Amino acid sequence: MASIKELKDDINYLTYDLINECFTYKISQPEKSSAADKAISEIVKRRNELIYRINHPEDKKGSGKLRSHFNKIRADLGKLVKLVEDLGKND
């Protein structure tokens, strides 16, 4: 299992990459700037939620429960990408 620090680094890397994609979208599609702004705010909101969930696991006892907690966080990380994909589908 990867360390918590690596998971946080992955979240931050993906978040910054997705925000960069949104800014690129804003430049190429200026008429749809508000949709990109909404996606950016949602990405930041979800990133903060994921970091909070990492720092405050629901059940600290039992490695199986803790492992499933972090696996769910990794699965939710993939949902961030869907926000940017949906932004591109609106064209």
Answer whether residue 22 shows pLDDT above 80: yes
Mean pLDDT, residues 33-40 taken together: 91
pLDDT by residue (tens digit) across 37-74? Answer: 999 999 999 999 999 999 988 766 777 788 888 889 98
Answer whether residue 86 shows pLDDT above 60: yes
Mean pLDDT, residues 1-6 taken together: 78
Under DSSP, is residue 4 helix (H, G, I), strand (E, B) or coil? helix
Say what the pLDDT of residue 6 is. 92
Place of tokens 């680094």: 9
Q: What are the sequence ranges of the domains in the chain? A: 4-89
If one counts every other C-beta atom within 10 angstroms of the C-beta of residue 10, the result is 14
Answer whether residue 80 shows pLDDT above 90: no
Q: What is the CA radius of gyration of the chain?
A: 15
Contact 76, 52 (CB under 8 A): no
